[in-house]
Amino acid sequence: MSARNPGMELDLEWVSKVRVNHQAVLKRAQQIQGRKLPKKQWQAAWHLRAVTCIDLTTLAGDDTPSNVHRLCLKAIQPVRQDLLESMGMHDKGITTAAVCVYPARVADAVKSLKAANSSIPVASVATGFPAGQTALKTRLEEVRMAVEDGASEIDIVINRTLALTGQWEALYQEIRQFREACGEAHMKTILAVGELGTFGNVYKASLVAMMAGSDFIKTSTGKETVNATYPVAIVMVRAIRDYFLRSGHKVGFKPAGGIRTAKDSLVWLTLMKEELGDEWLRPSLFRLGASSLLADIERQLYHYVTGRYAAYHELPMA
């Protein structure tokens, strides 16, 4: 992970002056989606880069210690060894960026990774995920418990009501408390952009979250009807750029929800490269929240190496 973002005093004047040109954002998103994507070995290299930025996630109601264990093994060896050997990448230590689970499963994930002698971090969604509608005291306690169980990254959800009603001071104070509860754990703040209404609100919520000390800002829980979209991402990464120019602190970005294909991952990497530069193309500042994306990337790599597509049973999750 990169250096922490210490945050700053809430600058309400900056927040109140925010204006977003809706049409310009949509046009820019179209441009990025229309870019020619890398081919052949360049594409394979970008796919491997995407793998190293994935927060491999399971957030199902029927999660068990055994499926969390399988997920951890997949995070450690995300691409089949023979494929990596064919590409000369078998000794590069390619793993996913993190394993992301519910707080109740953190201890299981930590135990599995420790047993495998892996240093992959465990991330946990906390604070009443996905709606964030439980009492503040309960949400703070959930963060502390996940950290105690060994989570080194916490994905918090904001109280959307505060953002929708423009209560930026209250939102700032709430996120500050979450940051304190995280202790040494890095904090990713989920804005649930599909529920924020306007690009202006998304930009303002991004700024407030960063001022309050978020190490990453994240688009969605993956449970809303609208999740990560390119226009919203452009608004968020421009807020990240403005915050960096004003404060000198780099904040990471994590799109999540609906990112399923290898091609999607290439568009996201292109967006980051063009908007924020190469420095943001690494797991310390960029994550892809996904559960099924890895399977499609591995299929594309299999095709690159063998010239044919694998059946899904040839590339099981673990």
pLDDT in tens, the chain (318 residues): 678 999 999 999 999 999 999 999 999 999 999 999 999 899 999 999 999 999 999 998 899 999 999 999 999 999 999 999 999 999 999 999 999 999 999 999 999 999 999 999 999 999 989 888 899 999 999 999 999 999 999 999 999 999 999 999 999 999 999 999 999 999 999 998 888 889 999 999 999 999 999 999 999 988 888 889 999 999 999 999 999 999 999 999 999 999 999 999 999 999 999 999 999 999 999 999 998 899 999 999 999 999 998 877 788 665
**What is the distance between the alpha carbons of residues 317 and 278, in angstroms, rounded to a whole number?**
30
**What is the distance between the alpha carbons of residues 172 and 204, in angstroms, rounded to a whole number?**
11
Instruction: Tell me the catalytic residues.
Output: 218, 254
pLDDT at 317 (0 to 100):
63
Domains of the chain in sequence order: 12-314 (3.20.20.70)
Nearest to 7 by CA among 294, 212, 262: 212
**What is the distance between the alpha carbons of residues 55 and 101, in angstroms, rounded to a whole number?**
10
